[in-house]
Amino acid sequence: MQFSYMMGNRRQHMGREPSVHTAASLFQNICYQNKDALSAGIIVAGWDKDDGPSVYNIPLGGGIFRQPWAIGGSGSTYVYGYCDATYQDGWGKDETVEFVKNSTYTKLDHRTCFTERCIALSLAMARDGSSGGVIRMCVITESGVERLFVPGNQLPKFWQGLEVLGKTVKAGADAEMIVET
């Protein structure tokens, strides 16, 4: 049975749009029933009149977890700890989009009183050989879904293979310098 058919059936039965939790529960059931055949985690997110914004993570095997945010893809394991430590309740759309889209979020470290630049997604993509090298993001609000795309050439670069080519990189206070060896 197709997911869209099941959602349509629920819509007809309830006389209104099903909740995000209902959609996540249907996906969870499909994933659990097919746990030996599926090898993908699912993110179900949306906005409904009952709960407002909701994000559900359905990992391999068909569990279901409501979370304030979710990430997916082969590089996601590289950034989970960073996102756990950095995410703050109450971020607005602009702060959240800037964090993800530009992959740079400046935060004040109160222990050392300096500004630290965190570049989570770009770092993850640099270390993940299976990454597509781009950011695809959805902003879901009461008024609808906005899809954002950031191509790889607009993301910061960290390792460019210069060491393999016999070159070394020396970083100064404000600049990088490439030196032939």
Indicate the pTM of the whole model.
0.70
Among 10, 35, 70, which residue terminates a domain?
A: 70
* Element at 47 (helix H, strand E): strand 42-48
For 70-95, the DSSP string reads ---STTGGGTHHHHHHH--TT--HHH
| pLDDT tens sequence across 35-49 | 888 888 888 999 998
When the pLDDT of each residue in the chain is averaged and rounded to a whole number, the result is 75
For residues 31 and 95, state if they share a domain.
no
Regarding whether 75 and 56 lie in a shared domain, the answer is no
Q: Which of 22-36, 76-90, 120-134, 160-174 holds the top average pLDDT?
A: 22-36
Please check whether residues 47 and 64 belong to one and the same domain: yes
pLDDT digits 0-9 by tens, 52-109: 889 999 988 888 999 888 887 777 777 777 778 777 888 888 888 777 755 444 343 3
Residue 75: domain span: 71-181
50, 70, 90 - which closes a domain: 70
Nearest to 130 by CA among 84, 76, 80: 76
